[in-house]
Chain A
Amino acid sequence: MRRIISFILLIIIFVGIYLALTHIPYAKDKMKVSKHYINNGIKENGAANIVTAVVLNYRGFDTLGEVTVLFIGAVGLGMILFGSRTNSKDRTPASLILTTGCRLLFPFILLLGIYIFIHGHLTPGGGFQGGAIIASGFLLNYLGCLKRPVKENGINAIESLAGTIFVMIGLIGLLYGGYFLLNFLPKGVLNTLVSGGILPLLYIAIGFKVGAELAGIIYKLME
């Protein structure tokens, strides 16, 4: 009985979504906002990657919200797992090939992640992607070598510092020009590393924050 009712409900929802989606014109620019971004985004922000301009400048407050949601997720995981620490000394160490491999690969993974979030305003990628790549480097190091390159307190310090820097840059914009996350620095020459005003600084802060948060989640789960 319950299955029949849930099946009927699913069909009703499917028909509703289908009827709604058939009325939406696909791939036509009806919105004035997106036209404004495409026509004026490069001129107003000096960033070659328009996606970065939208994520960090026009929608910068949403990005702060996303980072906060990730932080709350990490804190909640720490609360659930608090007190359930098992002794991890009975694990067998990995072979020489695995330990050497992960020790050699770890700096290059860090380099790739840092490259991606420093060049976030020029090429595809940015703080979230670079931070996730850095965290996967920490995952490799912990799976292969059972080692932690950074202590847990250091990770918490990096995370808090990066979050504070993000909010501070936003507040400087508020003092300087009247609204939060104003792009107050000079725009620079397009397609160079030092361009786009505050966007590279914000992406560096987000990269460190996301990398530290995800690495902290991995540490908490591996204990």
Chain B
Amino acid sequence: MIFITFLVIIMLIGAIVACIFKDLLSAAIAAGIVSLIASILFYFLQAPDVAMAEASIGAALTTAIFVFAIKKTERYEENEKDN
């Protein structure tokens, strides 16, 4: 139970950090960490099918596709103008 709480806290930190970062590469990797921990939690919740899909698609391929897309566009997010 303590282990699951620890994982959920790290997952929350990763999700918040992925929203805050201006460096999109770091944000993509933080989103990958969220997916990886989600797959571990799915395994603990006795859903191994979903855990495998989340680990292979969410953590591996989505992160790779994000990295390629960042490489083709820009790495840093521009500042929004407040009005």
B interface list, Cβ under 8 A from A: 48-49, 51-53, 56-57, 60-61, 64-65, 68-69, 72, 83
- Complex formed: what's the CA distance from A129 to B53 in Å? 5
Q: How many A-B residue pairs have CB under 8 A?
A: 44
Which A-chain residue is minimally distant from B52 (CB atoms)? Answer: A129
Q: Say whether, besides A221-B65, A221-B69, A126 and B49 are in contact (CB < 8 Å).
A: yes
Q: Say whether, besides A116-B52, A124-B49, A221 and B72 are in contact (CB < 8 Å).
A: yes
Which A-chain residue is minimally distant from B68 (CB atoms)? Answer: A221
Tell me, yes or no, whether A198 is within 8 Å of chain B by CB: no
Chain A neighbourhood of B61, CB < 8 A: 132, 135-136, 139, 214, 218
A interface list, Cβ under 8 A from B: 2, 49, 51, 84, 116, 124-126, 128-129, 132-133, 135-136, 139, 214, 217-218, 221-222
Contact A128 B68 (CB under 8 A): no
6 sample A-B contacts, Cβ–Cβ < 8 Å, listed by A number? A49-B49, A124-B51, A125-B49, A129-B49, A132-B57, A214-B61
Chain A neighbourhood of B72, CB < 8 A: 84, 221
Q: Which of B48, B57, B83 contacts A124 (CB 8 A)?
A: B48
CB distance from B76 to the nearest CB of A (A): 20
Contact B49 A217 (CB under 8 A): no
Contact A124 B64 (CB under 8 A): no
Most chain B CB within 10 A, of A116, A126, A133, is at A133
CB distance from A117 to the nearest CB of B (A): 11
Contact A222 B56 (CB under 8 A): no
CB distance from B57 to the nearest CB of A (A): 5
Contact B56 A51 (CB under 8 A): no
Contact A132 B56 (CB under 8 A): yes
Q: Say whether, besides A139-B61, A221-B65, A221-B72, A132 and B53 are in contact (CB < 8 Å).
A: yes
Chain B neighbourhood of A116, CB < 8 A: 52
Q: Say whether, besides A136-B60, A221-B65, A2 and B52 are in contact (CB < 8 Å).
A: no
